[in-house]
């Protein structure tokens, strides 16, 4: 059986790395892993906030949970906005490259 050669995944997504057209930072595995960790941090922080004082009788633990949830949430949305802006720039660059090419002779 003939096998296709492995795709070059040296870039951060997109056609250069063998990904689908239009993929950018959102398609990168590292980006997704970071986003999952941030979502998990928000959840753990929320649980600590809600149960810290009730179960463990510790107001500082609840405060730490609240701070953790807020900071992880801010980091999550900041990273999302940055990735969307990068994807938009990448799409504009690609569309600009297509228009600037001279017609074939």
For the stretch 55-75, pLDDT in tens is 999 999 999 999 999 999 999
For the stretch 31-63, pLDDT in tens is 889 999 999 999 999 999 999 989 999 999 999
Cβ burial, residue 72 (10 Å; 0-12/13-18/19+): buried
For the stretch 79-100, pLDDT in tens is 999 989 988 988 888 887 665 5
Half-sphere exposure of 21 (CA within 13 A, CB side): 3
Residue 54 Cα to chain centre, angstroms? 34
Q: Is the pLDDT of residue 18 over 70?
A: no
Instruction: Locate 81 and state its tokens.
Output: 């906005």
What are the extents of the domains in the chain? 27-89
- Longest CA–CA span in the chain (Å) reads 78
Instruction: Locate 18 and state its tokens.
Output: 């063998």
Q: How confident is the model at residue 2 (pLDDT cuts 50, 70, 90)?
A: low
Answer with the residue of higher pLDDT: 86 or 21: 86
């Amino acid at each position: 059986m003939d096998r296709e050669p492995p795709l070059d995944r040296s870039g951060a997504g997109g056609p250069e790395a063998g990904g689908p057209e239009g993929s950018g930072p959102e398609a990168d595995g590292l980006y997704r892993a970071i986003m999952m960790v941030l979502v998990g941090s928000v959840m753990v922080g929320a649980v600590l906030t809600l149960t810290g004082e009730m179960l463990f009788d510790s107001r500082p633990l609840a405060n730490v949970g609240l701070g953790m949830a807020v900071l992880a949430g801010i980091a999550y949305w900041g990273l999302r906005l940055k990735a969307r802006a990068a994807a938009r720039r990448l799409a504009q660059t690609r569309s600009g490259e297509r228009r600037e090419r001279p017609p074939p002779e």
